[in-house]
Amino acid sequence: MNALLRDWTGAYGLPPFAEITDEDFGPAFAEGLAQARARIAAIAGDPSSPSFENTIAALERADQLLARVGGVFWNLAGADSNPAREALEVDLAPQLSAYSSEVTSNKALYARIEALWEARADLTLTAEQMRVLDLYRRMFQRAGAELTGADSERMAAVMSRLASLGTQFSQNVLAEERGWHMALAGEDLQGLPDFLVATARAAGQERGLNGPAVTLNRSLIVPFLQFSPNRALREHAYEAWVARGANGNAQDNREIVGETLRLREERAKLLGYASFAAYKLEPEMAKTPDAVRGLLMRVWEPAKAKALADAAVLQSMMAADGTEGPLEAWDWRYYSEKRRHAEHDLDDAALKPYLGLEAMLGAQFDCATRLFGLEFKELNLPLYHADARIWEVTRGGKLVALFIGDYFARGSKHSGAWCSTFRDQDRMDGEVRPVVLNVCNFAKGEPCLLSYDDARTLFHEFGHALHQMLSNLTYRFISGTNVARDFVELPSQLYEHWLEVPEVLEKHARHWRTGAAMPAEMMKRLLAAGTYDQGFATVEFVSSALVDLAFHEGAAPDDPMGLQAEVLAGLGMPRAIRMRHATPHFAHVFSGDGYSSGYYSYMWSEVMDADAFAAFEEAGDPFDPETARRLEEHILSAGGSEEADVLYTRFRGRMPGVEPLLKGRGLLDVA
């Protein structure tokens, strides 16, 4: 029998990974869709009066098999893709979009939801049930439930096409990353630290080469740009990195971007909104494009001023090296690393031996134990790939979650880092504890040594994981990270702060070979350099967010790349800095619409995360039990049970201003 369709009776109810074949997915999705459609029809056609149980709760249960199958497939498609899975992604995108459109355009079903809403005052619903009802109603309305006739049909067609375009965009970026490498000869290794040479050799071996190579994996190409003294090689690698999706080949994403923007505009207009940004931002904390632009521009000017000042220093360093011409984007990281070493006596080659993956995993788990009483026990269970690992998470002897970590880059894995689930938390029909997945793309080595940015990424994704693991709600619809997009990054960015706590580094930043603690002076220099090069990092980010906003706040551009250039010119983008994500590989925005008009949300959440960690500092203890209790109660366990500003105000007593963000980035004195 199809392993995806039978009961999963193994340990913890995990998917039977070893028994699942790619051939199982198509029939399992077909059965999941059939069951979901039958249940939706039964709910819509129920002759009894609408109640929360026979309508909203029934909707929560309608797609259980579909969600279970999808939880396996989409995680494997992202973390361990292959041609069969990529082909199925293409087939599934319009099928799942069609199902979603059928549900949200079902007039009888929407009428039942609307009847419940009208009668809500008499239904004696719990606060959580009222919130779920409200959000279901909003979801149907925003999906076009009130559209009729040709408009309803057109909306379904638009959504189907957008789903297919997002899948193709993502697959094109993966193909570009998988298809490029730069082989390194012996002389090309001069000046590279040992860890980088070892990583390049491992990358070459994975690609079937006889020697080392640079790939487009961020954890490899960034240190190469930092340390390689060969300017021509830096330029070649950098230009390949930023050209993903724009190489004039079968994987070129520029036409996909244009069509996506046109369809998003049409979607918004069908629903009565002035622009896609106005539509997308309505349920977020920001609410309007003007509010987003206000935050971004408040940060842009001091960030640009800092970046230009830094660029002048790097330009002089380059001239002192005898290199003529202006500072370029492939020069910045190289000279910035030299400057950091000169000014802070600090470089990644010296730091990495103290930031081994195993040590940093110990640090992220230890912080969660001290803050929330969680205990982690690694298990030996079959998973979907040999690199993946699994831990049992308990508190007071009771199961809280299962946590899977998949940390190494490989050709079958999409780039970046993310958190997802194989199973969400809920307790509608008994306690269901989540199975949470963190995916990173660290360069594999023996041992795996992280840069400080890599370690921050590890903590960031684990912050998302805690949001999922500590969820304590009845309904899956609002559990875990099912919150406003510009609130979802708060737990992840907040958790990064514990990596900067000296006692955490003292305990866990140990030399991978000797076990010696990071020298006190090195740690002091590391923490003192916390705001180093933040002009560069902030300009990279804010420019990307402003381009994303510009794409969506007006009419769809005839020439998206032209608009990108226009926006950057209007900002006075420093010559030697480029967007963190150029449009043809801007997966946040074009692999789906999750972060479309929403890339700003990392910075919106940063306004809160700086203020939230200040609550621990004000308590005099980064592990203050009472502050941790309030953080869990009002944010980490609360999911989307209330509006985000309500939840944050309950934790902190007020909403913050932008000053903690500017201070945290070292930009307050520039503002």
Assigned token pair, 86: 């990529």
298 and 667 Cβ atoms separated by less than 8 Å: no
- With b for 16 or more beta-carbon neighbours within 10 A and e for fewer, the 577-600 pattern comes to bbbbbbbbbbbbbbbbbebbbbbb
Q: Name beta bridge partners: 494.
A: none
Cα separation of 96 and 506, whole Å? 49
Assigned token pair, 226: 């930092």
Residue 644: in which H helix or E strand, if any?
helix 644-652
Coil, strand, or helix at residue 99?
helix
Residue 397: in which H helix or E strand, if any?
none
Cα separation of 385 and 404, whole Å? 11
How far is C-alpha 535 from the geometric centre of its chain's CA atoms?
22
Torsion of CA 357, 359, 361, 362, to 10 degrees: 170
Cα separation of 518 and 499, whole Å? 14
Assigned token pair, 80: 């361990």
Cα separation of 19 and 24, whole Å? 10
- What DSSP designation does 187 have? G
Cα separation of 45 and 59, whole Å? 13
Which among 375, 367, 365 is positioned nearest to 498, based on CA atoms?
367
Phi, psi of 294 (to 5 degrees): -60, -45
Catalytic (active-site) positions: 461
Which among 351, 467, 455 is positioned nearest to 419, based on CA atoms?
467
Assigned token pair, 168: 């193709």
> Side chain identity at 596, as an amino acid letter?
S
Residue 407: in which H helix or E strand, if any?
strand 398-408
Phi, psi of 289 (to 5 degrees): -60, -35
Cα separation of 286 and 595, whole Å? 13
Residue 156: in which H helix or E strand, if any?
helix 149-179
Assigned token pair, 612: 């939230």
Q: Which residue has the tokens 């987003």?
A: 292
Say if residue 128 is exposed, middle or buried (CB neighbours under 10 Å; 0-12, 13-18, 19+): middle
Residue 184: in which H helix or E strand, if any?
none
Cα separation of 250 and 245, whole Å? 9
Assigned token pair, 357: 């993956």
- What DSSP designation does 444 have? P
61 and 428 Cβ atoms separated by less than 8 Å: yes
32 and 63 Cβ atoms separated by less than 8 Å: yes
Which among 551, 575, 577 is positioned nearest to 563, based on CA atoms?
551
Residue 594: in which H helix or E strand, if any?
none
Assigned token pair, 119: 């009668």
For residue 229, is the peptide bond before it cis, meaning its omega torsion is within 30 degrees of 0? Answer: no
Residue 191: in which H helix or E strand, if any?
none
Which among 361, 359, 360 is positioned nearest to 376, based on CA atoms?
361
Q: Which residue has the tokens 């199809």?
A: 2
